[in-house]
Amino acid sequence: MADQSIRGYLANLEQRGEMVRIAKEVDPLTNLTAVGWKAYDRLGKGTLFTNVKGYPDWQVANQILTDRRKWGIALGVDEHEVVATFNERIRKPVPPVTVARAAAACKEVVATGKDADLRTIPAVWTSEDDPGPYIAAGMAVIRDPETGLRNMSIHRQQIIGPDRTGYLICPRQMLRIYQKYQARKEPMPVAIAIGAHPAIYFAAAFTAPMGIDEVSLAGALLGEPVRMVKCETVDLEVPAEAEIVLEGYVPYDEAVEEGPFGEGSGGYAMEGTTPVFKLTAITRRKKPVFYAMQCGAPMTDAQAIVSTSVDMLLWDHLKNVEGGLDLLDVRCLGVSGLMTVIIKLRPRVEGQAKTACMAALSGPQMHPKIAIAVDEDIDAGDLRQVFWAMTTRVDAGKDVIRLPNMRVWSLDNISDIVPGQSAMYRLGTKMIIDATMPVGARARFAKAMPRNFDAVDLAKFLV
């Protein structure tokens, strides 16, 4: 039986030297996220805060899923295998099982009625211009009122009262399901799990075809059924090994001012109105680990989770372009706020790299607006090499193509909002940069590598 908790993952991270513990007191409202962000930026490590002001029973984790090495630890594979592993495992969904309440760690403490108070959770004030503390790491489980099918997705929550949060629902599957509740004039029951195994996070962040239960995709990634447990106040189930569970509902007819919030773009999502989440119960472990999922200026948890799923979906999408590309690597760049994707391929004929870029700009997810194609000899993970190719193999007149008036990601603030719509709907200019060499003229564009480069082993000369 695999561990399905976030604490098990944190123990692995620590053992592999990928996490630091910070025992000096931090305050979730003033300095926790800056300490966590800097620790990752300077040391490349995630952080577990063990001394959190005002929350003696709690620990807080931050910046723990920020790169492929850490995802590799979560999946038990090498960092280079992460995308391929996701792709392979996710094809065989594994339906969850239901366990008894007594076997569910997330039920150690149950608070309902007045006792259910969001102020008991160390929600963090993340970015400077955020209006206050948020919970960013909640995975929402809901059911389609018509088909009964389950959906799981991640949504940010601005704390606006002891039992209320703003609840942003972007135009994706949850919104379609919420609109069904609205049409029936019924509240949408929601159960929100905070802190669980990264595989469950990945599945929640993943855009699966409508009707596919993300919980069974999490099972596929884990290699065993997710253990679920029934909720106290709503007719839903949640991962039993979660640290904290918020139960409640989203009324069909309420809206609240929400934001601005530092987002995966690296900048701010503008303030606006969102639906409301109303709390009916909090269940949790006795000594919970709160996952303060870092969002905002790169590089954060938010960018790494989304880019990994963009890569995976694009890999599948691109492989079929033109009946099959010689695709070598796909990298949605977290450091670009998720809006640039690099495609490494072996173009068989002139024009193929541009077709690949065009497909990458109309993939399953909206984030990329710039697609850069590079050749086999460029390491797509090394931006120095990519920049060299973008300069020496690009004639801006022929190789840079602008695609105006395209739908772009909602958080691309430089792009215009569609007249009459909310900021969720934007039109902007996408861009293709074909930084591959002209097919048939490769010698002229070769990298001038040191003589006998591949044959020379540096280690032999350092002894």
Ligand X SMILES: Cc1cc2nc3c(=O)[nH]c(=O)nc-3n(C[C@H](O)[C@H](O)[C@H](O)COP(=O)(O)O)c2cc1C
Q: Between residues 4 and 158, which has the closer beta carbon with respect to ligand X? A: 158
- Taking the C-alpha atoms of residue 379 and residue 458, their distance in angstroms, rounded to an integer, is 19
Q: Tokens 């960092």 label which residue?
A: 79
The gap between the terminal CA atoms of the chain, to the nearest Å, is 46
Q: Which does 305 bind (CB under 5 to 8 A by kind): Mn ion, ligand X, none?
A: ligand X
Q: Name the minimum Å distance from CB 135 to Mn ion.
A: 20
Site for ligand X in 136-165 (CB under 6 A): 136, 151, 153-156
Residue 276: partners with Cβ closer than 8 Å, 6 or more residues away:
160, 164, 165, 166, 167, 250, 251, 254, 255, 256
Residue 392: partners with Cβ closer than 8 Å, 6 or more residues away:
445
Cβ-contact 279, 246 below 8 angstroms: yes
Q: Name the minimum Å distance from CB 169 to Mn ion.
A: 12
SS3 46: strand
Q: Between residues 91 and 442, which has the closer beta carbon with respect to ligand X? A: 91
For 142, half-sphere exposure in the C-beta direction (CA atoms, 13 angstrom radius) is 26
Q: Between residues 294 and 340, which has the closer beta carbon with respect to ligand X? A: 294
- Give the number of residues in contact with ligand X, rule: CB under 6 A: 19
- Taking the C-alpha atoms of residue 191 and residue 185, their distance in angstroms, rounded to an integer, is 19
- The CA distances from residue 245 to 34, 96, 236, 407, 435, in Å, are 26, 18, 11, 35, 47
Q: Which does 174 bind (CB under 5 to 8 A by kind): ligand X, Mn ion, none?
A: ligand X
Asked if 365 is part of the footprint of Mn ion (rule: CB under 5 A), the reply reads: no
Q: Name the minimum Å distance from CB 49 to ligand X.
A: 19
Cβ-contact 432, 401 below 8 angstroms: yes
Q: Between residues 219 and 298, which has the closer beta carbon with respect to Mn ion? A: 219
Asked if 206 is part of the footprint of ligand X (rule: CB under 6 A), the reply reads: yes
Instruction: Name the residue number minimizing CB distance to Mn ion.
Output: 173
Q: Report the candidate in 432, 330, 331 with the shortest Cα–Cα distance to residue 390.
A: 432
> Which string of x and - marks every residue 102-141 that binds ligand X (by CB under 6 A)?
----------------------------------x-----
Determine the distance from the C-alpha atom of residue 159 to the mean position of all C-alpha atoms in its chain, rounded to a whole number: 21
Stretch that binds Mn ion, among 70-78, 171-179, 327-335, 443-451 (CB under 5 A): 171-179
Q: Between residues 170 and 401, which has the closer beta carbon with respect to Mn ion? A: 170
Of residues 53, 172, 180, 346, which one binds ligand X by CB under 6 A? Answer: 172
- Taking the C-alpha atoms of residue 245 and residue 233, their distance in angstroms, rounded to an integer, is 11
Q: Name the minimum Å distance from CB 205 to ligand X.
A: 4
Strands 164-167 and 150-154, by their bridges, are unpaired
Q: Name the minimum Å distance from CB 137 to ligand X.
A: 7
Stretch that binds ligand X, among 77-85, 92-100, 123-131, 170-178 (CB under 6 A): 170-178
Strands 227-230 and 289-291, by their bridges, are unpaired
Q: Between residues 58 and 178, which has the closer beta carbon with respect to Mn ion? A: 178
Strands 370-374 and 340-345, by their bridges, are parallel
DSSP class of residue 51? Answer: -
Cβ-contact 274, 258 below 8 angstroms: yes
Q: Name the minimum Å distance from CB 178 to ligand X.
A: 9
Cβ-contact 169, 156 below 8 angstroms: no
Asked if 205 is part of the footprint of ligand X (rule: CB under 6 A), the reply reads: yes
Q: Name the minimum Å distance from CB 214 to Mn ion.
A: 5
Q: Name the minimum Å distance from CB 109 to ligand X.
A: 26
Q: Between residues 187 and 438, which has the closer beta carbon with respect to ligand X? A: 187
Q: Which two tokens stand for residue 197?
A: 């195994």
Alpha helices in 184-245 (DSSP H): 198-205, 214-222
Stretch that binds ligand X, among 20-28, 251-259, 298-306, 397-405 (CB under 6 A): 298-306
Asked if 207 is part of the footprint of ligand X (rule: CB under 6 A), the reply reads: yes
Asked if 293 is part of the footprint of ligand X (rule: CB under 6 A), the reply reads: yes
Asked if 305 is part of the footprint of ligand X (rule: CB under 6 A), the reply reads: yes
Q: Which two tokens stand for residue 92?
A: 């065989």
Residue 337: partners with Cβ closer than 8 Å, 6 or more residues away:
264, 265, 266, 267, 298, 303, 411
Of residues 4, 127, 173, 365, which one binds Mn ion by CB under 5 A? Answer: 173
Q: Name the minimum Å distance from CB 35 to Mn ion.
A: 34
Q: Name the minimum Å distance from CB 242 to ligand X.
A: 16
Q: Name the minimum Å distance from CB 261 to ligand X.
A: 8
Peptide bond into 260 cis (omega under 30): yes
Asked if 306 is part of the footprint of ligand X (rule: CB under 6 A), the reply reads: yes
Of residues 173, 216, 233, 308, which one binds ligand X by CB under 6 A? Answer: 173
Of residues 85, 151, 274, 436, which one binds Mn ion by CB under 5 A? Answer: 151
Q: List interacting residues with Mn ion (CB under 5 A).
A: 151, 173
Residues that bind ligand X (CB under 6 A): 136, 151, 153-156, 168-170, 172-174, 205-207, 293, 302, 305-306
